[in-house]
């Protein structure tokens, strides 16, 4: 079977991962790069293929941004997120979204204490560092809306009291394609709070054989238990601060702005990207540069980040959608239209 993941447009812009930089970095990127390679190696103990998804998850981790992973059941969305969380020494919480889930089930609720005759706030599972929300589109709008404040401001307000989340704070949500039964479409306001939307496809023939072979040879062995923590919470925060220092030349800032403005003026799009998308594209481009071991952003970094940053922030016009035109195809056209700065 053909590998659908390799058809993702962002893969066209991925540079050679094994290529070593031939320049003198102004920022010390060696430790960051080595740590990320260790994370990839640990995840690779279990996951076959899916390099694009793993790479984007690492970029989101460095950007301190939330991620939405979409794909059909069984393509390792949830297990990859769980393995990534295992490689980082921070708090982890997994929430299974269901149709009967209430906002208080994830945020927490006030409970009356008989001893002191006062109400006490019992924190919900969102009070952690790495939050995995499985099948986020299985819960109705009121539960989804409970995530608005915490995803954008990294705080929760309950009974007039503000509770700030401990850094790092990252939400990784999975969902099945929205046309499947029993799902609730995420509102645009919530989609806009995700740094990336990653589309996950099927493995190719070679990867499928490797998956089956590994399962057959391991029999009852659970490889997930062998995954080790390789990054501490403090290291991750240091890496996130380091990525912020990555250099972006003024002409590349203008390049980012042109891409975003083009989505607003594009005749094929009903809704273009907001200024939040500009900031997201800037942050993600820095993260991809750091993953490559560079302390400066190139146009290729911006292109690589554009699809995952923009595909959930734009809406294709109804006429073009009926013709089968997708957001990824329009984004590719925009990138091909705008002159690349050099």
pLDDT by residue (tens digit) across 26-68?
Answer: 777 888 888 999 999 888 888 888 888 899 999 999 999 999 9
C-alpha span between 95 and 78 (Å, rounded):
11
Query: What is the per-residue pLDDT for 9?
Result: 57
Distances (CA, A) of 327 to 8, 111, 134, 180, 307: 12, 46, 24, 19, 9
Q: Write the Ramachandran bin of 140: left for phi over 0, alpha for psi from -120 to 50, otherwise beta.
A: beta
Name the CATH topology of 246-342: Helicase, Ruva Protein; domain 3 (1.10.8)
Query: What is the per-residue pLDDT for 112?
Result: 78
Residue ranges of the chain that CATH labels 1.10.8.80: 246-342
Question: Using an 8 Å Cβ cutoff, are 194 and 173 in contact?
Answer: yes
Query: What is the per-residue pLDDT for 25?
Result: 59
Query: What is the per-residue pLDDT for 341?
Result: 81
Residue ranges of the chain that CATH labels 3.40.50.300: 23-232
C-alpha span between 273 and 266 (Å, rounded):
11
Query: What is the per-residue pLDDT for 304?
Result: 92
User: 197-214 burial, b for 16+ CB within 10 Å, e for fewer?
Assistant: bbbbbbbbeebeeeeeee
Spatial CA neighbour of 300 closest among 250, 335, 258: 335
Q: From the CB of residue 243, how many other CB atoms can be counted at a distance below 10 Å?
A: 25
Query: What is the per-residue pLDDT for 20?
Result: 46
pTM: 0.85
Residue 18 phi, psi dihedral angles, 5° rounding: -90, 0
Extract the residue ranges of the chain whose pLDDT is less than 50.
1-6, 15-21
The 3-state DSSP class for residue 137 equals helix
C-alpha span between 215 and 208 (Å, rounded):
11
The residue ranges of DSSP E strands in 99-224, in sequence order, are 108-113, 118-123, 130-134, 155-158, 161-164, 170-175, 196-199
C-alpha span between 314 and 330 (Å, rounded):
10
The residue ranges of DSSP E strands in 185-313, in sequence order, are 196-199, 231-232, 269-271
Choose the CATH number for 23-232 among 3.40.50.720, 3.20.20.70, 3.40.50.970, 3.40.50.300. 3.40.50.300
């Amino acid at each position: 079977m053909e590998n659908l993941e390799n058809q993702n447009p962002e893969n066209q812009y991925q540079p050679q991962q094994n290529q070593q930089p031939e320049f003198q970095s102004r920022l010390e990127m060696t430790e960051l790069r080595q740590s990320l390679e260790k994370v990839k190696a640990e995840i690779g103990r279990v996951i076959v293929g899916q390099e694009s998804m793993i790479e984007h998850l690492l970029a989101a981790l460095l950007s301190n941004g939330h991620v939405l992973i979409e794909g059909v059941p069984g393509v390792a969305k949830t297990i990859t997120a769980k393995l990534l969380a295992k490689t980082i020494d921070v708090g982890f919480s997994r929430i299974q979204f269901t149709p009967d889930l209430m906002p208080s089930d994830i945020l927490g609720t006030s409970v009356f204490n008989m001893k002191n005759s006062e109400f006490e706030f019992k924190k919900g599972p969102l009070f952690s560092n790495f939050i995995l929300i499985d099948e986020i589109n299985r819960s109705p709008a009121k539960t989804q809306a409970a995530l608005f404040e915490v995803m954008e401001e990294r705080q929760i307000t309950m009974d007039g009291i503000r509770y700030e989340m401990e850094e790092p704070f990252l939400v990784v949500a999975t969902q099945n394609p929205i046309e499947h039964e029993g799902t609730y479409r995420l509102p645009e306001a919530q989609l806009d709070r995700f740094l990336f939307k990653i589309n996950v496809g099927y493995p190719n023939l070679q990867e499928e054989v490797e998956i089956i072979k590994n399962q057959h040879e391991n029999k009852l062995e659970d490889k997930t238990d062998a995954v080790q923590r390789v990054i501490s919470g403090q290291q991750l925060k240091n890496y996130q601060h380091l990525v912020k220092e990555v250099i972006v030349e003024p002409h590349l800032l203008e390049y980012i702005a042109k891409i975003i403005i083009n989505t607003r003026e594009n005749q094929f799009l009903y809704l273009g990207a907001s200024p939040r998308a500009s900031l997201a594209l800037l942050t993600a481009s820095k993260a991809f540069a750091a993953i490559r071991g560079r302390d400066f952003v190139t146009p290729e970094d911006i292109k690589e980040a554009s699809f995952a940053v923009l595909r959930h922030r734009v809406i294709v016009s109804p006429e073009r959608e009926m013709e089968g035109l997708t957001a990824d195809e329009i984004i590719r056209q925009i990138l091909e239209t705008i002159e690349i700065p050099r």
